[in-house]
Amino acid sequence: MNKKGKIEQEVKKTLEQFEKAEQLPPNPFFYSKLKALLDERRKQQNVFSVIFRPVLVISLVVINMGTALWFCSSGNGIYQIDTRQELLKILSGDLELSNQQINLFSNE
Amino acid sequence: MVNQNEEQLDFKFLVENTQEKVRNTCLRFVNNSEDADDIAQEVFIQVYDSLSHFRNESQLSTWIYRIAVNKSLDFLRKKKRKKRFAQLISLFGYEEDREEIDYPATGNPQNDMENKERKQILDWAVDELPDNQKTAIVLSKYEGFNNKEIADIMNLSLSAIEALIHRAKKNLHNRLYKYFKKQC
C-alpha cells in the first residue's frame, strides 16, 4: 500500500471512533445532587431576602432622606433677587468690584 | 404547597428523562466525565430558573440541549483562557498540572490503547474546529441528532446545518490527514 493510502486508512480508522464513542454510565445520584444544590441556593436567596434586602431598602431611604435634608438646609444661601440693583449689590460683593465698576453696570 | 410539590415532581421527571443525553452531550465537548456532570447540573439549574419563561416556540428537550451546548462551549472558552493564563504563569517558572482524559476500557488492552490514542487524536481534531462546526458535528456524529433537530438546537436553517457538517467533515479529514502525514 502506498503512503497516501496508508494515511487515508489511518484517517478512516480515527473517524470510526465517532461510532465507538462510549456513553457515560447512569448517575443515580444526579437528581439528589441537583436538588441539594437547588435547596442550598434557595436558602442563600432566603438569607438575602430576609436580611440583606431590608438593610438595602433602609439604607436607600436613609440616604434619600439625608440628601433631601441637606438640599433643604443648603437652600439658606440662595438669594431671591427681584431688582437689577439687588443683583449688582450681590455681584459686587462676590466679585469685589469697586464703586466705579458698579457704576459702569448701573448706568447701562 | 401542593402546587410546589407538583412542580418538583414535574422537574424530577424532566431531569430523569433528559439527564443522560444532556450529560453525554456535555461530555462530547469537554471530554471529562466530572466536568460533564458539573455542567449538566448547571444546565438543569438554569432550566429550573427559566422554566417559567420557556415559550413553546421549540420543544422543551431542544431548548434544554441548546442550554447544554452553550454551557459546554462557555466552559471550553473559560478553560482556554485559564490555559493561556497558566502558560503565561509557567513562563515565570510555575508548572501547569496536566489533565489525563479517562475513557472506559472495552477489552483487549492493545486495542484499547490504540482506540484510546485514536479517540484522543479525534478529540484534538474536533476541538480545533470552529465552535459552530464542532457543535454540529458533535450533535450529529456522537449524539445521533438528525439535521432538523440540530437546526432547532442551534437555531439555524437546515441548509446552514448541512453546510456546517460538510465543512466540519472536510476540516476534520484535512487535519487528521496532516497529522498522520507527519507521523509516517
**pLDDT tens digits, residue range A64-103?**
999 998 888 766 556 677 777 788 888 888 888 777 777 7
Nearest residue on chain B to A34, alpha-carbon basis: B41
Domain CATH for B177: 1.10.10.10
Torsional sign, CA B3, B5, B6, B11 = positive
d(CA B156, CA B168): 16
| Same domain, residue pair B55 and B7 | yes
More confident residue, B53 or A107: B53
Asked if A3 and B184 come within 8 Å (Cβ–Cβ), the reply is yes
| Same domain, residue pair B1 and B91 | yes
Asked if A22 and B180 come within 8 Å (Cβ–Cβ), the reply is no
Candidates A2, A12, A14: best to mutate against B (most CBs of B within 10 A) is: A14
| Same domain, residue pair B109 and B56 | no
Question: Is B20 near chain A, with CB under 8 Å?
Answer: yes
Angle between helix axes B33-50 and A30-47 (nearest 10 degrees) is: 50
Count CB-CB contacts under 10 A for residue B24. Answer: 19
ipTM: 0.75
Nearest residue on chain B to A2, alpha-carbon basis: B184
- Reference B74, options B34, B32, B43; nearest CA is B43
| Same domain, residue pair B51 and B137 | no
| Same domain, residue pair B87 and B174 | no
| Same domain, residue pair B4 and B76 | yes
Candidates A2, A3, A10: best to mutate against B (most CBs of B within 10 A) is: A10
Q: Which residues 6+ apart lie within 8 Å of B117 measured at CB?
A: none
d(CA B50, CA B18): 16
More confident residue, A20 or B107: A20
C-alpha cell at A77: 444661601
pLDDT of residue B100: 47
Closest Cα in chain A, distance from residue B77 (Å): 23
Closest Cα in chain A, distance from residue B154 (Å): 21
| Same domain, residue pair B2 and B79 | yes
| Same domain, residue pair B87 and B136 | no
pLDDT of residue B98: 47
**Structural domain count of chain B:** 2
Express each pLDDT in A25-73 by its tens digit.
888 899 999 999 999 988 888 777 777 888 889 999 999 999 998 888 7
| Same domain, residue pair B55 and B137 | no
Domain containing residue B121: 103-184
Closest Cα in chain A, distance from residue B158 (Å): 22
pLDDT, block means (10 residues), chain B with 184 residues: 66 91 93 93 93 79 94 93 81 57 52 80 92 95 92 94 96 94 82
Q: Which residues 6+ apart lie within 8 Å of B16 measured at CB?
A: A31
Question: Is B118 near chain A, with CB under 8 Å?
Answer: yes
pLDDT of residue A91: 80
Question: Is B12 near chain A, with CB under 8 Å?
Answer: yes
Domain CATH for B79: 1.10.1740.10
pLDDT of residue A12: 92
Domain boundary residue, one of B102, B134, B165? B102
Asked if B19 and A31 come within 8 Å (Cβ–Cβ), the reply is yes
Nearest residue on chain A to B26, alpha-carbon basis: A24
| Same domain, residue pair B111 and B95 | no
| Same domain, residue pair B156 and B92 | no
C-alpha cell at A55: 438593610
Question: Is B180 near chain A, with CB under 8 Å?
Answer: yes
Domain boundary residue, one of B102, B132, B167? B102
| B131 three-class SS | helix
Domain boundary residue, one of B56, B84, B102? B102
